[in-house]
Amino acid sequence: MTSISTRRLAKELKEIQSQGCPVGIELLKADDFATWWFSIQVMGESLYQDEKYTLQFRFDSQYPISSPAVQFVVTDGKEAPIHPHVYSNGHICASILGNEWSPVLSVIAVCVTLQSMLASCKKKERPTDNDRYVRHAPDNPKKTRFHYDDDE
Amino acid sequence: MVDAISTRLLDSVPDPTDFPPQENAPGLRKLDSTFRCTICGEVFDAPVTTRCGHCFCSGCLRPALALKQECPTCRKSTNEMHIRPNYVMEEAIMCWGESRTYILELIKREKEAAEAVSKAKASQRSHKRKRSGSTSSVEMLDCAPGPSSPRTPRRRQHSPRKHKAVDLTTVPSSDVDEDELSSINLNPKPNQIVPCPLCSKTVAYKDLNTHIDRGCKDFSKEKASETWSKILSKPPNKQKGKQRCYRKHSDSDDEQPLPLASYATLKDRQLREMLGDHGLPTQGDRSLLEQRHQRWVVFYNTNLDRSLPNRKSKSALRQELKKWEETHFKVKKPVVQDAKEHVKTHKSEFSKLVSIARGSQPQITSTIPSSVSPQPMSPG
């Protein structure tokens, strides 16, 4: 018997394969139902023109009831975008990944939200508490209790 | 890259993309996704509606609300008390379950027929070039969907696009299988017994359409009235009585949803009692017991959201819980694939165990005979 999370992810993958990803988002790797990688790019005019980032999704057996652990990849010479909600270790402070997660959201929905988060950025800067956070950050961003303040 | 994932699983998971896209099969993909829960992506199981009007599987919505009391779709605040079963949707998905396979089969057949025609045409062309005789024109005639021909099955061999353009005018919209019927008898009388074109069961011609609409399953009228009287005579008991009273009822009419337990205030013994009351295993550590009970409450209440004829028995629910536990708390038993290799790699451990066993042996044989019996006992 396959678990609900596996079946749900299989459906999402099937949809990605048959209908493709939205513009600027690409599936890089999905060899299992535990970790997926996407590349993400902001289309049109923005502070992140011509920059490409890699997003990592990690799923647990409670998905989609519990949110996936999403972060930018910062290994192998890759970097996280400079953004007031993105820490230099790749962790993202976005309510949709924490207390605003809803089980009807999907991997692609998260990608699109993060894409628009980058697109709407007005000033490239790290979060004010970046150094302090990165020093003590847990491996899994889901273990961090982010404080979501300036939501646009 | 993606191919590494077992494609078998991907194929075995049905989803709206099983249907052709909107241009080729208007509405079918959308219809299929309308019948699917936005949480699990499956066709609804025990569909329920929130007070904001959104529909989910009962078994998906309940755990979601346990974490956060808002509608997963619109985020309006809602809780377990607002959940209402959606019997019409339940009925609809039951019908969809049957017609889905039927429609997919029709689509497949039409595609195959279209392919066969294009193949036949291609081979004819080559025939014509080779022989350029009178035979080819006969073949052509045979395949051509002549409107004057009394036999019409060939009509279905058009490509889907052509089908739309031509057949909508010639075929009364009702159904495709008229073609096959007409090949047997052009005008069967209403009471004439004809074979069903799908299951080849014999049916009276006048009942054929209803027979096919039911996915070739015939159920008697009696049964329908029976189920109705069942539903009507037993309206779901909305009365909120004492939570314990359900135990006094017999198995068939306990319709009180189980209350959510606040596990923090429960002692291990109480929790085990609660599990025991429902005939569930009471082994395992505290967290397993809590999760087992929590999941049981979900399964139990979900079952009550099904209409009476669709409810599962308590033992079926227990089976479900067992399966759930097996997939979520996988007890990883190492399976020895290659026994010889296993013996080799663990040789040192085995020999250690053997020597320990041998070492203990003489002690027993030496102590027992001296104290209990004068004769030496043969070991084993």
> Closest Cα of chain A to B78: distance in Å?
14
What are the catalytic residues of A?
A: 93
B10-123 classified as CATH 3.60.20.10: no
Residues of B in contact with A4 (CB under 8 A): 40
Q: Best residue in B3, B5, B7 to probe A by mutation, most A CBs within 10 Å?
A: B5
Considering the domain boundaries, does residue A115 fall inside one?
yes
Query: Is A2 in contact with B9 (Cβ distance < 8 A)?
Result: yes
Considering the domain boundaries, does residue A151 fall inside one?
no
Any CB–CB contact under 8 A between B21 and chain A?
A: no
Residues of B in contact with A8 (CB under 8 A): 39-41
Query: Is B41 in contact with A14 (Cβ distance < 8 A)?
Result: no
Give the 3-state secondary structure of residue A54.
strand
Enclosing H/E stretch for B134: helix B134-143
Q: pLDDT tens for residues A116-149?
A: 999 999 999 999 999 999 998 898 998 888 877 6
Residues of A in contact with B5 (CB under 8 A): 10, 13, 30-33
CA B71, CA B77: separation in Å to the nearest integer? 6
Give the count of beta carbons closer than 10 Å to the beta carbon of residue B148.
4
> Closest Cα of chain B to A45: distance in Å?
31
Query: Is A11 in contact with B75 (Cβ distance < 8 A)?
Result: no
Beta bridge partners of B195: B202
Query: Is B40 in contact with A14 (Cβ distance < 8 A)?
Result: no
CA B37, CA B123: separation in Å to the nearest integer? 47
- Is cis: bond before B26, omega within 30 of 0? no
Considering the domain boundaries, does residue A144 fall inside one?
no
Of B1, B13, B63, the CB nearest to A29: B1
State the CATH number of the domain containing residue A23.
3.10.110.10
Task: Tell me what pLDDT residue B131 has.
Answer: 55
> Closest Cα of chain A to B71: distance in Å?
9
> Closest Cα of chain A to B74: distance in Å?
9
Any CB–CB contact under 8 A between B72 and chain A?
A: yes
Residues of chain B with CATH 3.30.40.10: 10-123
> Closest Cα of chain A to B224: distance in Å?
33
pLDDT in tens, chain B (380 residues): 445 556 667 777 888 888 888 888 889 999 999 999 999 999 999 999 999 999 999 999 999 999 999 999 999 999 999 999 999 999 999 999 899 999 999 999 998 999 999 888 888 877 666 555 444 444 444 444 444 444 444 444 444 444 444 444 444 444 444 444 444 456 677 777 777 777 777 777 878 888 778 777 665 445 545 554 554 554 444 444 444 444 444 444 557 888 888 888 989 899 999 999 899 998 888 989 999 999 999 999 999 999 988 999 999 999 999 988 888 776 555 566 677 777 787 788 888 888 877 776 555 444 444 444 444 444 44
Instruction: List the single residue in A with minimal CA-CA distance to B71.
Output: A102
Task: Tell me what pLDDT residue B137 has.
Answer: 44
Mean pLDDT calculated for residue range A14-29: 92
CA B362, CA B369: separation in Å to the nearest integer? 11
The values of phi and psi at residue B2, to 5°, are -65, -25
> Closest Cα of chain A to B106: distance in Å?
22
CA B173, CA A94: separation in Å to the nearest integer? 52
Query: Is A1 in contact with B327 (Cβ distance < 8 A)?
Result: yes
User: Which structural domain range is residue A31 located in?
Assistant: 2-133
Any CB–CB contact under 8 A between B94 and chain A?
A: no
Cα-only R_g, chain B: 33
Task: Tell me what pLDDT residue A21 has.
Answer: 94
Query: Is B2 in contact with A19 (Cβ distance < 8 A)?
Result: no
CA of B231: how far to CAs of B96, B236, B339, in Å? 22, 9, 58
Any CB–CB contact under 8 A between B63 and chain A?
A: yes
Any CB–CB contact under 8 A between B38 and chain A?
A: yes
The values of phi and psi at residue A26, to 5°, are -140, 140
Query: Is A31 in contact with B5 (Cβ distance < 8 A)?
Result: yes
Task: Tell me what pLDDT residue A128 has.
Answer: 92
Write out the two tokens for B147: 């409107």
Considering the domain boundaries, does residue A142 fall inside one?
no
Query: Is A104 in contact with B326 (Cβ distance < 8 A)?
Result: no
CA of A62: how far to CAs of A30, A33, B174, in Å? 18, 12, 46
Considering the domain boundaries, does residue A44 fall inside one?
yes
Task: Tell me what pLDDT residue B149 has.
Answer: 43
pTM of the model: 0.63
Chain A residues within 8 Å of chain B (Cβ atoms)? 1-4, 6-8, 10-15, 17-19, 27-33, 61, 64-66, 99, 102-104
Q: pLDDT tens for residues B279-320?
A: 999 888 898 999 999 999 999 999 999 998 899 999 999 999
Among all chains, which residue has been given the structure tokens 């006992």?
A: B377
Any CB–CB contact under 8 A between B42 and chain A?
A: yes
Task: Tell me what pLDDT residue B128 has.
Answer: 61
Task: Tell me what pLDDT residue B293 has.
Answer: 93
Determine contact, residues B47/B90, Cβ cutoff 8 Å.
Answer: yes
- pLDDT at residue A25 is higher than 70: yes
